[in-house]
Structure 1
Amino acid sequence: MLALRSLAFNIAFYANLVVWLVICLPTMLLPRRALMAVARGWARSSLWLLRVIAGTRLEVRGLANIPQGGCLVACKHQSMWETFALVPFFSDPTFILKRELMFIPFFGWYLWKADMVPVNRRGGARAMVRMTEKAAEEARDGRQIIIFPEGTRRPPGAEPAYKYGIAHLYGRLGVPCLPVALNSGLYWPRRRFIRRPGTIVVEFLPPIPAGLPRDSLVPALVDAIEPVARRLHADGLAEIGGTIQPAPERAEAP
């Protein structure tokens, strides 16, 4: 039954994505905020399909902690789930994402239109400068800059591996940093077909104010996010019953 429900959801999820990509092409001629409204609709429809077909619900905690206006959102990254499910909770979000996604036909066009912030992972210091300038521009416009500070998806329960880039951005942007913990990887595992029933929990934690020393950010994020992430992980394991065998680690590009 789990495999059948997972198969049905995966088919429905990607079919739903294709339908939204096609019928929303006219938004390419409209202001960006019209496209972001469409993105929120797609995200909500995907969450609905996940709940109805796979039995995977969503619980959101700490919405009152989301700052008004521009901020830097530092979120745990365990799954593809958070790449769309976070969108409805912000007024004007943009993701820092790998540049290659911008070249995907149709989907990449929408990313360009939405003013996402691409980064060339192999571009060295120059790519970091371009990414930072773009992120600063979007933050000045009052947007929420969503970044996964560990750089790639990590298995649930893995040791934290935060990168320096988040501290660099924090020092440059001059906006609060919102820590986000979740346990999505237990229910939507990375690089796996299965979608488990249960309740994904995402928790928005009290923001770290702007203006602190840059070097203090990563320790502050670890102290804020990791205890909550461990608690959510334990709660999720108790719900689904048992332990999860993580997918093997994949080496990152230098």
Structure 2
Amino acid sequence: MLLSNQPSQSELFLRSLVFTIGQAISTIVFAFGGLCLAPFSFTQRYGFLIQWGRVNFWLLKKICNLDFRVQGFEHIPLGPAVVFCKHQSAWETIALQRIFPPQIWVLRKSLLWIPFFGWGLALLDPIAIDRKAGRKALNQIIEQGKQRLEAGRWVVVFPEGTRMPPGEMGKFKVGGASLAQATGYPVIPVAHNAGYFWPKRGFIKYPGIIDVIIGPMIETKEKTVDEINQAAYSWVAETMKLIDPPSNDR
């Protein structure tokens, strides 16, 4: 939900600049702190590094007047699952740490090469794939995803594969569904409209309240990869119509 009284563009730019500086400083601090914890367990590293997200959400709220609300906490099971999250913004990559239990992400290997930010990601045991690797990348998702799930960690995937502009849905790729089908762990779909407030490749952070909706658990046992993807896609697409209607419906 966008706020009715928007600041001027110059004020939005200034606020976004201050936030970006704060985000950069916090990234450097937590990256170095995380490196000091490299010899320690995943739980200890994770507990420290997710505080980076808390700091940045505080900065977003105080500087950019941007907050969020979540519906559907009751759909989060006690055990680990595979999260299928709508991909619109950099925002959700931070937010999911605040919403779900300890987790790892399926992501592009190239993200680990980003100074400071990539170092922090590497310390959180992600499944870092080369998208051009085809079957090898798919096998990696299944093998490493199974290990993470059996260790009690949640696995987060962005099935569209890339951030989509508001009002658009991308085709779901098979990696996440293949992992869920191979392991029998359930899928939890997530919809949100963060792209309005923190646009893809956008510098300006707009004030308002981001809506996040967690969907009912999708059982994956005895389902095919296509059936899992279709169930998740249908729920996300229908829910997005409520909080992020298609462009031609606005």
* Structure 1 length-normalised TM: 0.87
Shifted more, 221-230 versus 107-116: the winner is 107-116
Partner of 2:30: helix, strand, or coil?
helix
TM-aligned CA deviation for residue 127 of structure 1: 2.2
| Amino acid of the structure 1 residue aligned with 2:46 | M
| Amino acid of the structure 2 residue aligned with 1:43 | G
2:34–2:49: 8 Å Cα contact kept in structure 1?
Answer: no
Using a 3 Å threshold, how does the CA distance of structure 1 residues 45 and 5 change in structure 2: closer, same or farther?
A: same
| Amino acid of the structure 1 residue aligned with 2:179 | L
2:141–2:175: 8 Å Cα contact kept in structure 1?
Answer: no
Q: What is the rounded CA distance, in whole Å, between the counterparts of 1:56 and 1:87 in structure 2?
A: 17
Q: Equivalent residue for 2:229?
A: 218
5+ unaligned residues in a row in structure 1: which ranges? 238-242, 244-254
Q: Equivalent residue for 1:163?
A: 173
1:39–1:87: 8 Å Cα contact kept in structure 2?
Answer: no
Shifted more, 42-51 versus 107-116: the winner is 107-116
Q: Equivalent residue for 1:29?
A: 39
Match for residue 185 of structure 1 among 195, 210, 213: 195
Moved over 4 A (4+): none
Q: Are 1:92 and 2:102 an aligned pair?
A: yes
| Amino acid of the structure 2 residue aligned with 1:72 | V
Aligned length: 236
Match for residue 144 of structure 1 among 139, 145, 154: 154
| Amino acid of the structure 1 residue aligned with 2:228 | L
Q: What is the rounded CA distance, in whole Å, between the counterparts of 2:118 and 2:27 in structure 1?
A: 13
TM-aligned CA deviation for residue 29 of structure 1: 2.1
Q: Are 1:4 and 2:14 an aligned pair?
A: yes
Q: What's the C-alpha RMSD, in Å, of the aligned pairs? A: 1.7
Q: What is the rounded CA distance, in whole Å, between the counterparts of 2:220 and 2:134 in structure 1?
A: 26
Q: Equivalent residue for 2:89?
A: 79
Q: Equivalent residue for 2:143?
A: 133
Q: Equivalent residue for 1:200?
A: 210
TM-aligned CA deviation for residue 105 of structure 1: 4.0
Partner of 1:196: helix, strand, or coil?
coil
| Amino acid of the structure 1 residue aligned with 2:232 | L
TM-aligned CA deviation for residue 84 of structure 1: 1.4
| Amino acid of the structure 2 residue aligned with 1:21 | A
1:160–1:226: 8 Å Cα contact kept in structure 2?
Answer: no
Partner of 2:50: helix, strand, or coil?
helix
Q: Percent identity?
A: 34
Q: What is the rounded CA distance, in whole Å, between the counterparts of 1:160 and 1:92 in structure 2?
A: 27
Match for residue 107 of structure 1 among 110, 117, 120: 117
Q: What is the rounded CA distance, in whole Å, between the counterparts of 1:166 and 1:130 in structure 2?
A: 11
Q: What is the rounded CA distance, in whole Å, between the counterparts of 1:102 and 1:24 in structure 2?
A: 14
Partner of 1:77: helix, strand, or coil?
coil
2:49–2:120: 8 Å Cα contact kept in structure 1?
Answer: no
1:93–1:146: 8 Å Cα contact kept in structure 2?
Answer: yes
Q: What is the rounded CA distance, in whole Å, between the counterparts of 1:8 and 1:105 in structure 2?
A: 20
Q: Are 1:66 and 2:73 an aligned pair?
A: no
Q: What is the rounded CA distance, in whole Å, between the counterparts of 2:40 and 2:244 in structure 1?
A: 41
Q: Equivalent residue for 1:233?
A: 244
Q: What is the rounded CA distance, in whole Å, between the counterparts of 1:191 and 1:212 in structure 2?
A: 40
| Amino acid of the structure 1 residue aligned with 2:187 | C
1:96–1:145: 8 Å Cα contact kept in structure 2?
Answer: yes
Q: Equivalent residue for 1:252?
A: none
Q: What is the rounded CA distance, in whole Å, between the counterparts of 2:82 and 2:197 in structure 1?
A: 26
Residue by residue over 1:91-113, the C-alpha shift from the partner in whole angstroms, topping out at 9 and shown as x without a partner, is 22000001112233443333333
